Structure 1
Amino acid sequence: MSGLDPSGGAGIQADIQAITSLGAHPLPVLTCLTVQDTNNVHGAQAVDPDLIRQQLTCLAGDVPIHAVKTGALGSAAVLDVLVEFLDTLPDVPVIADPVIKAAGGGDLADSQLMEAMKTRLFPKAEMITPNGEELALL
């Protein structure tokens, strides 16, 4: 679960490549769409949480889920849907990448989302992978 980087340098595309390179089959669920170039994020909009809920329910009913990796989530409402979903998969490992800022400095998470990550997502995670700037903000 991650955002779309239309410049192709990060986000769901990078997750798909990494997961595929490990021999696994990714089930990419978009959480936010960005206005982004190779230098920075210029805007972002979260995907409708109900649509994400429908995607997760559909996939979970069809394909075994062996792990969940998160990236940019877009909003606290999206995180709420994610946490509800994770509650149905208590034995599935979670890797949480708290994407807060783009490399160029553009914001990808507000204070409400950061707080929700700390209190609701991180306790469920096997691994949390912030970069240095994200770690300082958290």
Structure 2
Amino acid sequence: MDTFTIPAVLTIAGSDSSGGAGIQADIKTITAHGLFAECAITAITAQNTTGVRDVQDVDPQVVAEQIDAVFEDIPPAAVKIGMVSSAAIIDTIAERLAHWGATEVVVDPVMVATSGARLISADAVAALTSRLLPAARVITPNIPEAEALTGMHIESEDAQAEAACALARTFGCAALVKGGHGVADANDVLADPAAGSTDVAPAITWFRHERIDTANTHGTGCTLSSAIACGLACDMDLAEAVASAKDYLSGALASGLNLGHGSGPVDHMWRMGAQRRTSAAGAPTPTPR
């Protein structure tokens, strides 16, 4: 029998019981890109499209064991890191990734809710900025997160680009500051420092897309960051990986999937759309029990 291999991508994040964000969104995204998904779960959440009910962190030692088990057997070509709420877990992740020499690391620094409320403690922010962000190939903050990390007020595209440059200089990694929150709605800006140097002006690249009018945006940040990791795992350069990820997310938003009573998930499997819609149209209606 003929055999083959495909690149693996590791997602380190929390579990979303509703399936729209976190580990579940990442696994769907990685699978949709034809790659092999691996995971290390940092927290278990009880949530749906209307909100989060409860969160339980995973013991840091268990997080470490998950990461080690993955690298020992099927080493990932890229790593995506999502929400990590405790300093102990952040320190554990940083230490284990350094041990295994992980390089293509995408960090989505989930710090601030859409409402503006902080999602992680002050000591966790300190660990994030001192241990995890400097180890990244690229970080993907939204506007409120970029403001929290830089202390800047971002109300224009010029300020958005300036914040991306400031982040790149501070952490020595590329920074993709995403639009939204009233600034550059669907336009993201990438600042990529030359060879990781903080002394050279970062190269700036804008990624412009038409804003898609939909209320179903649950998991967009998770989806974009894991799609970028997929591009890096396939040996794309960073700008190519971001452009590819933006195209994928745009398709997932434009698909028209409508689930739940709140902000529903994007359609991670939108590229299967025509075949899936035909199958669903012919499926029998379930009988209530």
The two structures have a TM-score, normalised by structure 1, of: 0.89
> What displacement does 1:37 show?
2.5
Of 41, 59, 73, which residue of structure 1 is paired with 2:70? 59
Q: Return the index of the structure with the highest Cα Rg.
A: 2
> What displacement does 1:91 show?
4.9
Q: What does the per-residue CA deviation read over 1:84-136, in whole Å, with 9 as the maximum and x for residues that have no partner?
A: 11112335210000112344566532111111111111111011011112222
Matched, 1:3 2:10: no
Aligned equivalent of 1:92: 103
In the alignment, residue 69 of structure 1 is paired with which amino acid? K
Q: Could you tell me which runs of 5 or more consecutive residues in structure 2 were left unpaired when the two chains were aligned.
A: 1-11, 150-289
SS of residue matched to 2:100 = coil
In the alignment, residue 20 of structure 1 is paired with which amino acid? T
> What displacement does 1:41 show?
2.5
- Answer whether contact 1:3 1:11 (CA < 8 A) is retained: yes
- Aligned pair count? 138
Of 39, 48, 54, which residue of structure 2 is paired with 1:43? 54
The two structures have a TM-score, normalised by structure 2, of: 0.45
> What displacement does 1:18 show?
1.4
In the alignment, residue 72 of structure 1 is paired with which amino acid? M
SS of residue matched to 1:7 = coil
Q: Could you tell me which runs of 5 or more consecutive residues in structure 1 were left unpaired when the two chains were aligned.
A: none
Give, in whole Å, the separation in 2 of the partners of 1:133 and 1:110.
Answer: 16
Structure 1 vs Structure 2 CA RMSD: 1.8
Aligned equivalent of 1:28: 39
Give, in whole Å, the separation in 2 of the partners of 1:110 and 1:43.
Answer: 16
In the alignment, residue 67 of structure 1 is paired with which amino acid? A
Give, in whole Å, the separation in 1 of the partners of 2:43 and 2:18.
Answer: 14
Aligned equivalent of 1:83: 94
Aligned equivalent of 1:117: 128
In the alignment, residue 64 of structure 2 is paired with which amino acid? R
Aligned equivalent of 1:137: 148
CA distance 1:102–1:44, shift in 2 (3 Å): farther
Structure 1 residues 102-111 or 51-60, which shifts more?
102-111
Aligned equivalent of 1:70: 81
SS of residue matched to 1:8 = coil
SS of residue matched to 2:73 = coil
- Percent identity for Structure 1 against Structure 2: 40
In the alignment, residue 92 of structure 1 is paired with which amino acid? T
Q: What does the per-residue CA deviation read over 1:18-77, in whole Å, with 9 as the maximum and x for residues that have no partner?
A: 111222111111101123231322432210011111111122111122111000113111
Give, in whole Å, the separation in 1 of the partners of 2:118 and 2:46.
Answer: 11
